[in-house]
Structure 1
Amino acid sequence: MCARDPGKSRLIDVELDETFGRATPDIEHERAVAIFDLVEENHFQPVGDEKSGPYRLRISLAESRLVLSVTREDGTPVITHILSLTPFRRIVKDYFLVCESYYQAIRTASPSQIEAIDMGRRGLHNEGSQTLMERLSGKIEVDFNTARRLFTLVCVLHWRG
């Protein structure tokens, strides 16, 4: 098996379908930052795609499921995967609660308390990233940092402000 060109096993564009709707300017900004970070540095390779990328990813929702539609740079379809959001609900909910605690702690807590809350936040983020990697296993190959960025995007998509 030959080694893949790392410049081709990557995303060059991520688009959110209109199913997510418009959000507040702050949430729109967070979505844009999450997409920028993901496109800036990632490893993304649909399993079994012999032609390789680079790829474009369109993310949408259908019946409370995450739809990941992958195309080549020129728009040629590669694959679409549909993932249940159920395995992420608890993690995302807990992540938001810890983030809320973190933002409150910044105002009044000691540095050691803030650090402890932030460690919990990072732990939940890692758990969500690992869950995403497991759900993509055998479908799309991603490294841990890409999974972290994708999980950030999943969280931002749930954020209602």
Structure 2
Amino acid sequence: MTSPDPHLDAPLLLVCRELVRAMDEFDEAACVALGLGRSDLRALNLLEHGPLRPSTLARRLGRTRPAVTALIGRLEEAGYVSRTSVPGDRRAAAVELRPATWQALARVYRPVGERIGRIDAELDDPGREAVVRTLTEVVASFDAIRSGLAGTADPV
């Protein structure tokens, strides 16, 4: 069935929808493989870029501070993260990934990275640049529309 709006049947949009579906299903499988919930996995993905304070983690996850405190507790108990002190602030703590977590994440994500690496290697420079430019614009489109949706509920 085709959409009443021809823009919704554009090939790039259709493949983006398939990409989002595939990534969503992959995240579900990664959660099962790692014994985590979706918010837990999102937190680990954020922490891959370095330690974060709980308040920063809460803001970036869009969760309340008490919910993130519970999330950190679960991840700490499961051995995925540890709390560390923040240099220059004796009262502050940050959360960071434990070394074994990097291995667990690699077990899940490395096969995807390797396959995408092989695809990348088959592209010539202009083709690679076109794909990267297009995907960058797609990401920017999602981000722009998402920020406009924040706080707007439109019941069906």
TM-score (norm 1): 0.30
- Larger % of helix: which? 2
> Could you say which structure has the greater relative contact order, defined with CA pairs below 8 angstroms and 6 or more residues apart?
1
The structure number with the bigger radius of gyration is: 2
